[in-house]
Structure 1
């Protein structure tokens, strides 16, 4: 039966709980010989065009990916690697507004940055006035990142051809990847995380830092719940929905954490943990492939948990549920 399968872009897995429902009701479970592959995600390009322009630079530095707090140097930035290429977006307010993009592809680097415009290009000036920003223009510099000559040079027609290629290709790639990262940031809304944390199914699993009471396995996926108000090491931790998947001897662990921007707007911060154990730190996820995996795993887990929760409210405990959880659900009247 098709509804006994869970499909992602990576694999097709059996939906164990749904299969058990079929068995218990006397229905057969037949895996189709052919399974339609999951469709590709259509991620919109967020920019009006791919031009190297002050408009697009400001859009990059105004991205929801930009952290709300500045570092020790007074800068805010986000950065990531794609294979051997490095991308960084910078924004600063002191001593004057400054925005920049840094692109690096061994052995070259280029920076596209704002500078105050004394005379000003009229077209840019009109845009700046409309946006109520200081009159700015773009300055582009390049350099070798190793060797004897590593000072910065102004970009001109005589600059190496590889620099022009890095500038054009790197800029377009940056805009595309920011579109991807913002899509996944917005796709999983905070209310979806809160809905999963508040399920009756999740209520017994109220100790995120206890191996037995943090969550449970459903097939090959482990889910854990950190409820609001949890304090650890004297610090209140934000609510979190955790997903883990075994891959041979390794494990992929994704944290979906509820955070707040500087203006108080709540969003879901996706973190990745490469090793099991609370002593291992989870880091912000900038890998497009792992983001896609996180997206599919979340959809799969959400679907599974909502189905298990419906079954629980109908009086059926999840398969292989722990004794303490069953006792809790019985006390709450979910099971009779």
Structure 2
């Protein structure tokens, strides 16, 4: 992985990706005690940053390989990103999804033209095994959700935008908080910031009990989660950091931050009330850290990436009712 791959991915994404802005609110600044800039990737195609990696990967394939079809496994956001990218390239797509994924994400993936195959995550069925078997049987190309060079490159284009936008707003130093699962977005942004904004530091943010990246950065080796499901922050629940992403994060990222599920839901409500954006719990943990963990953050300004907005209506309504 290197910055040249990220810049090449940005070229392939030209004319297709949405360049999401940096949003701000004096109400959020007051809560955090510093300037808060929010990158709303919930406004990206398919409702999350995952479109970037999906398009980067599908567009990089040889024409014949692409025509044979692609396969991915995901709880929903990577699923939709790959499904949409494949449909726009005229390629068949199979997506392996957990049977406890939010129904909205399953329905959206099917609506984007992909074949959805459900697996039993709560009872320990392996998505990797299911995906590998289908890929081998049908001759499909696997696009992993984070531990894949072209996926990391696509996600890294978010960092190129942050570097330019932050510079325009006069922010040249501080922490960039990123909702983190396997580390594709975090490592991609870290590489982009190293090249274009070395004063900005990428930091992963995770929910309680699923803080494998934070613990891995402390121990210096890949740690795993005891549970693989059971969180409202499903979008960023992964078994462990990736073998490609972890070395990048170890080299370039600051310490991880961990927030509670309640803090994530409160951030969902603040994003809605103050920025007029809809964010899912897993996509709101970075904002939650910016608002509710100010003593763990450095700098007069902080950038928080809201990574996705594919939230079930019931979860959103409950959050507004309970914390609005």
TM-score by length of 1: 0.21
Structure (1/2) with the larger helix percentage: 2
Structure (1/2) with the larger strand percentage: 1
Instruction: Work out which structure has the larger RCO, using CA pairs closer than 8 Å and 6 or more positions apart in sequence.
Output: 2
TM-score by length of 2: 0.22
**Higher Cα radius of gyration:** 1
